[in-house]
Amino acid sequence: MKKISLLIVAVLFTIVSVNAQILNPVKWSVATKKTSNTEAVIYVKATIENGWHIYSQNIGEGGPEPTKFNFAASKDFTLAGKTVEPTPKSKYEDAFKMNVKYFEKEVVFAQKIKLKKGQTAVKGSVEFMVCDDTRCLPPDEYEFTVQVK
């Protein structure tokens, strides 16, 4: 009887731990390109697993969490405008009762900066929400530091 109880507990533990695996359907990467001695562009790329999507920076009230960029203040550079994104797809989502703008598979956001020095480290983060057709994961954050040389 003890062996059967132990076996049942082991099976239940295995099922619970398999179901508790953390989903991470978005992988982020960051790169830079110096466009002149005084300007550079920071590229933040999201690679999104099939079936999942993240949202545009431009979402109306009552919708999902938009993608948001935060860049740490620095004496070495200033932001030149807002973070730009390619044209998103748009569809009506019942969960939000509105049309939402989103990206699938891959998206590259770009932020221009004006350099006060030739080289610098840019620190920032991106807050995002990822959903599939049946669920949304809680908002998450990706922090990064990238060198501009």
pLDDT at 18 over 80: no
CB 139 within 8 A of CB 130: no
The ranges assigned to domains in the chain are: 25-148
Q: Give kind and range of the element (H or E) at residue 17.
A: helix 2-19
Q: What is the pLDDT of residues 67-106, one digit of tens each?
A: 999 999 999 999 999 999 999 999 998 888 999 999 999 9
Q: What is the pLDDT of residue 13?
A: 41
Q: What is the pLDDT of residue 95?
A: 83
In the sheet with 68-71, reading across from the earlier edge strand, the strands are 68-71, 120-128, 140-148
Q: What percent of the chain has pLDDT over 70?
A: 86
**CATH second-level architecture of 25-148?**
Sandwich (2.60)
Q: What is the pLDDT of residue 30?
A: 98
